[in-house]
């Protein structure tokens, strides 16, 4: 970590922006130095959403992960059986969602809707992969936490799947 700090000492004296602070507090970017956080910040797009505005729809190809800088976001699942959307999570300032988009472009499994007026930073996969390729050391420090987040989710899913089906399940995971 020391070399990352000394790589750009000037960054230590610059005041941190709200986005840099929000990114630094996330587990995904917690291993990055201030200079490295600034590089991630440089690829983020700040988007403003009005209350009720759709951020992405269920089934849309996933391209970006989002970090809430202000406001709240509802994660809902739309089913054919009921007309009502099923809310699976309500996220607030400083939380992230849609991070699997950094790995592949699979369709979104749920929709994200701004519950209140929201300011959200979006990090798109093409820009993120470009950054990982240009800065491999920085890439490793982001990929390891991302792999840990994914591993934790797989374990949590395994606990939910009945033991009789786990053998079938694991061959796909």
Binding site for another protein (CB under 8 A): 7, 42-43, 45, 47, 49-50, 52-56, 59-64, 104-107, 122, 124, 126-127, 130, 133-136, 165, 168-169, 172
Minimum CB distance to another protein, residue 120 (Å): 9
Whichever of 12 and 51 has its CB closer to another protein, that residue is 51
Minimum CB distance to another protein, residue 124 (Å): 4
DSSP for the chain reads -HHHHHH-THHHHSPPPHHHHHHHHSGGGTT--HHHHHHHHHHEEEEEE-TT-EEE-TTSBP-EEEEEEES-EEEEE--SS-SS-EEEEEE-TT-EE-GGGGT--PBPSSEEEESSSEEEEEEEHHHHHHHHHH-HHHHHHHHHHHHHHHHHHHHHHHHHS-HHHHHHHHHH-
Whichever of 122 and 142 has its CB closer to another protein, that residue is 122
Minimum CB distance to another protein, residue 6 (Å): 12
């Amino acid at each position: 970590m020391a070399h990352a700090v000394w790589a750009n000492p000037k960054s230590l004296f610059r005041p941190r922006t709200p986005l840099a602070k929000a990114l630094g507090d996330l587990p995904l970017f917690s291993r990055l130095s201030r200079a490295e956080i600034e590089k991630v910040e440089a690829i983020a797009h700040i988007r403003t959403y009005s209350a009720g505005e759709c951020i992405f729809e269920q089934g849309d190809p996933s391209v970006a992960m989002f970090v809430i800088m202000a406001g709240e976001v509802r994660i809902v699942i739309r089913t054919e059986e009921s007309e009502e959307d099923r809310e699976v999570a309500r996220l607030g300032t400083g939380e992230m969602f849609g991070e699997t988009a950094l790995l592949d472009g699979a369709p979104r499994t749920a929709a994200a809707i701004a519950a209140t007026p929201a300011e959200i930073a979006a990090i798109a996969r093409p820009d993120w992969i470009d950054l990982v390729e240009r800065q491999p050391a920085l890439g490793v420090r982001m990929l390891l936490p991302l792999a840990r987040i994914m591993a934790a989710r797989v374990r949590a899913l395994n606990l939910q799947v009945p033991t009789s089906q786990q053998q079938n399940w694991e061959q796909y995971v």
